[in-house]
Chains A and B, each alone.
Chain A
Amino acid sequence: MADTATKPRTVKFIITRRDRPEAAPYTEEFEIPYRPNMNVISALMEIQRNPVKADGTKTTPVVWESNCLEEVCGACSMVINGKPRQACSALVDKLEQPIRLEPMSTFPVVRDLVINRERMFQALKKVKAWIPIDGTYDLGPGPRMAESKRQWAYELSKCMTCGVCLEACPNVNDRNSFIGPAPISQVRLFNAHPTGEMNAHERLEALMDDGGIEGCGNSQNCVRSCPKGIPLTTSIAAINRDTTKHMFKKWLTS
């Protein structure tokens, strides 16, 4: 009992930082007071309040991004102890120390842990990941979706474009134009929708374009990494089937 009062518990962090997008990365170590139930975001908030390194010298606060703090927005994705995941759901008690934080450098790094996930939103535009219902008149309620289908489609709809699956994928890199796993799964989601299905061919053709689904090399890291448990490899294989069928159909009917 006596020695519990001797030294306050602390948490060690090693953070990969970068001042500007084109600047070289460097690491800094921090040692911050432990509080029960803290997560990586609350630790970063502590560093923000008191930007002092482990060696006692002052530094600039570490910059990161977060919004929902409940693992639904995807903004706080970073590489924590080697694995890409959300900082807000990364509990310090469950992490090995020192805790290493790095930006997901598959994406352009803006500063410190902040990355630019623009390519993911571009990808969703490219594959038309929406249901076109706008018109000049009321289109009516549209066909109903079978409940059995709705159940698995709902799982796919949980994607928060967090980028973890792209970070984990060995084929998403600057030598490869592969669009990444998430948008492929979104094509499956919107093609499963009874109204979305009416434009299914447009989404399939977007994935048969350069950098589309053929870029998948089946490492299956994505499905192991997705924080939402989305069956990405099942989606990819299902869309492989759909694009293959579409290819033959186009050959034989045009």
Chain B
Amino acid sequence: MSGNSYLPRKLHSLLGVIPLGLFFIEHALTNYSAFEGGLEGFNRSVNFLHQLPLVFFLELILIWLPILFHGVYGLYIAYQSNLNTGRFQYGRNWAFALQRISGVITFIFVIWHVWETRIQVALGNTTYEELGAHMHEIFTNPAYIVIYVIGVIAASFHFANGLWAFLVSWGITIGPRAQRVSSNICMGIFVIVAVLFLLSLVAFSGDEFASAAAAAGSASIG
């Protein structure tokens, strides 16, 4: 490879946490509002977000461009790695392999998920108000439920384990004890964020969102 890879790699690591990691947590909480506050809670959260000033530029600079860079450069990083967990069956080596596998899964999932939701809103096929109903429709298909479950678990792992690696790559956690403690904390974060997302999946496929979907359906017919 030509040129210096130090800066892009460093940027890749940073973008994964700021802004993408922060956005990811925000996304988990917004979704969780569907579980905690039902349809109304979810709508309130969605409305709050898309009524932010300059929302297009915020999305572009804090989400779209970072995802594109992190994803494409991440694929290159994955391509540059061997997976040797067969010979070296250590926990951290498994995490190394899973970080790359979950990264590829997450990137594909995110592209598809953005197509299904944000781009459908942009195309005018659905609206922010109907998003809850739209999600329910997606979840009437069991195949999509499976894809979403895999997607959110992969994304949560990739985020939490990436946070651990970020702390090492930026020279914040140095010794073995510090890295062990941060590893435990990050695995805790993985579980918490994954559960938040899974609970929102439960809410989306539940009754309240079903009636919203029915209402939205009859509204568009009528």
Contact = CB atoms under 8 A, between A and B. Distances in A.
Interface stretch (B55-63, B87-95, B139-147): B87-95
Contacts of B168: 218, 233, 236-237, 240
Contact of B10 (A82, A211, A247): A247
Contacts of A236: 168
A170 B82 contact: yes
Contacts of A219: 88, 92-93, 95-97
A237 B93 contact: no
B96 A237 contact: no
A132 interface: no
B126 interface: no
Nearest to A235: B174
A211 B168 CA distance: 18
B165 A233 contact: no
Contacts, number: 110
Interface string A213-241: 11111111100110000010110111111
A231 B168 CA distance: 14
Interface string B169-183: 111111110010000
B82 A234 contact: no
Contacts of A72: none
B171 A240 contact: yes
Interface of B: 1-6, 9-10, 77, 79-84, 87-88, 90, 92-93, 95-97, 99, 164-165, 168-176, 179
A234 B175 contact: yes
Contacts of A42: none
Interface in A54-93: 82-83
Question: In this complex, which of A82, A209, A219, A224 has the most chain B Cβ atoms within 10 angstroms of its Cβ?
Answer: A219
Interface of A: 82-83, 168, 170-171, 173, 175-177, 208-221, 224-225, 231, 233-234, 236-245, 247
B171 A237 contact: yes
A170 B174 CA distance: 21
Given A214-B6, A214-B9, A221-B90, A237 B165 contact: no
A237 B88 contact: no
Contacts of B96: 170, 217-220
Contact of A237 (B10, B81, B174): B174
- 7 residue pairs, one from A and one from B, having the closest CB atoms: A241-B171, A219-B96, A214-B9, A240-B171, A220-B92, A237-B174, A176-B80
